[in-house]
Amino acid sequence: MMKLISAKDIPLLERIRLEDEFFSQPFMMSYSGLNKLLFSPVLFHQHYILKQRDDVVDKPMVEGKLLHCLLLNPEEFENEFVLMSSDMPSDGPRKVLDKLYDCMKNEGKTYTTYEDLSPETTEFVQTYILDILKEQNLYQSLKTDEQRIAKIMLIPKNLKYLDYKFQAERKTVVDQDMYDFAKATVDTIRSKGNLMEVMGFDQDSLTTNVKQHNELDLVCLEFDDYYFGIRGIIDNLVVDHDNKVIRVNDLKKSSKSIGQFEESIEYYNYWMQAALYRLLVNHIKETTFGVDYPVEFRFIVVDPYMQIAPIRISEETMEAWTLKLNDELDKANYHFKEREFSLPYKFLKGENVI
């Protein structure tokens, strides 16, 4: 049975091979990679270097991905998503089913229906489900393993979801409610003239000189004296030659009211993403776009009540975020230079007193 393992569980020679392979090629540091490294170097080492990946995709992340697709790349919907005809399982069971699907695919197990699984596959599925339920502390109040397994594998919408996962291969499964909300949100955004202008949509080529880029993958291989490069996939970037400015817009689907978004900036370190993106665009703007315009950054925030607004980050705030980012990049650089991922930076550098 496949499960996540720590560095100590990997044979020494294999661990050395994976580490040598990782450091033999350039690493492109993204916001998500930097966030993971600063939160837990052990998790970063496990995910990126030992390739023991455990990416859990929760409902807000799926909603955000769907919104991005329908607004910025609607032609890619059928390649990235499959639409369920029934409702989705709740977050807990769905995360279990997502992990079960990944594990069965990796183990080469064939899924038809639960009742038709071979005895070997049934045992494999049951054992894996029980491990994940214990790990997530889900349904542990039930008295027997049979009851716990039934909560996952004998619920029709759970089986329907798993069936869709296998039909869709690596596509993301969404239900009708999620699709309808995202579609209505896109329609609302497209009805707001100020958002359309900020994001460079529907510009009249005869009267404006604006170039829009969506899902733009930018890379800077050599970045100061760091042992890594910088990478960012920019949701929406607008080169506005009329106003001589570059607008970087990051679309956020918030699970809280738009009035609480400032809290989310700190909680999820969105400030670091904003500063990293602007730093990256400033480094490549002349070679990529042929201009030296100032860079503005906005979060385009959508909340659960379909309240939508662009939130511009002031130059003063961005400069403060950039200084903080430089400190965080220096910490990340230390981990790479020393190849030391056993503890966060502050614990590696000396005794901490609370």
Q: What are the CA-CA distances from residue 135 to residues 19, 26, 100, 179 (Å)? A: 28, 34, 13, 31
**What pLDDT, on a 0 to 100 scale, did the predictor assign at position 34?**
97
How many of the other CB atoms lie within 10 Å of CB of 241? 14
Domain architecture of the chain: domains with CATH: 59-179 (no CATH), 193-348 (3.90.320.10)
Both tokens assigned to 196: 């359309």
In this prediction, residue 24 has a pLDDT band, given cuts at 50, 70 and 90, of very high
Average pLDDT over residues 89-99: 89
**pTM as predicted:** 0.78
The least confident of 54-58, 286-290, 320-324 is 54-58
Q: At residue 4, does pLDDT exceed 50?
A: no
Q: At residue 351, does pLDDT exceed 70?
A: no
**What pLDDT, on a 0 to 100 scale, did the predictor assign at position 251?**
97
Half-sphere exposure of 352 (CA within 13 A, CB side): 8
Average pLDDT over residues 297-319: 96
**What pLDDT, on a 0 to 100 scale, did the predictor assign at position 333?**
96
In whole angstroms, give the CA distance from residue 312 to residue 73.
Answer: 23
In this prediction, residue 293 has a pLDDT band, given cuts at 50, 70 and 90, of very high
Q: At residue 55, does pLDDT exceed 80?
A: no
Q: At residue 189, does pLDDT exceed 60?
A: yes
Both tokens assigned to 207: 């009267």
Q: At residue 15, does pLDDT exceed 80?
A: yes
Most confident of 113-122, 217-226, 269-278: 269-278
Q: By C-alpha distance, which of 238, 230, 227, 224 is closest to 297? A: 238
**What pLDDT, on a 0 to 100 scale, did the predictor assign at position 5?**
46
Tens of pLDDT, residue by residue over 148-177, are 999 998 888 888 888 888 877 778 888 899
**What pLDDT, on a 0 to 100 scale, did the predictor assign at position 231?**
95
In this prediction, residue 300 has a pLDDT band, given cuts at 50, 70 and 90, of very high
* CA 310 remoteness from chain centre: 21
Q: At residue 19, does pLDDT exceed 90?
A: yes
3-class SS of residue 84: coil
**What are the backbone angles phi and psi of residue 12, rounded to the nearest 5°?**
-55, -45
In whole angstroms, give the CA distance from residue 325 to residue 138.
Answer: 37
Q: At residue 1, does pLDDT exceed 50?
A: no
Half-sphere exposure of 155 (CA within 13 A, CB side): 18
Q: By C-alpha distance, which of 191, 211, 185 is closest to 71? A: 185
Tens of pLDDT, residue by residue over 207-259, are 679 999 999 999 998 777 899 999 999 999 999 999 999 999 999 999 899 99
DSSP state of 230: E
Q: By C-alpha distance, which of 219, 181, 13 is closest to 88? A: 181
**Exposed/middle/buried for 40, CB within 10 Å: 0-12, 13-18, 19+?**
middle
User: Which position has the token pair 């455990």?
Assistant: 54
Q: How high does pLDDT run on average in the chain?
A: 89
**Residue-level length of the chain:** 354
**What pLDDT, on a 0 to 100 scale, did the predictor assign at position 3?**
42
In this prediction, residue 14 has a pLDDT band, given cuts at 50, 70 and 90, of confident
Average pLDDT over residues 190-211: 84
In this prediction, residue 59 has a pLDDT band, given cuts at 50, 70 and 90, of confident
In whole angstroms, give the CA distance from residue 315 to residue 296.
Answer: 8
How many of the other CB atoms lie within 10 Å of CB of 3? 13
**What are the backbone angles phi and psi of residue 217, rounded to the nearest 5°?**
-90, 110
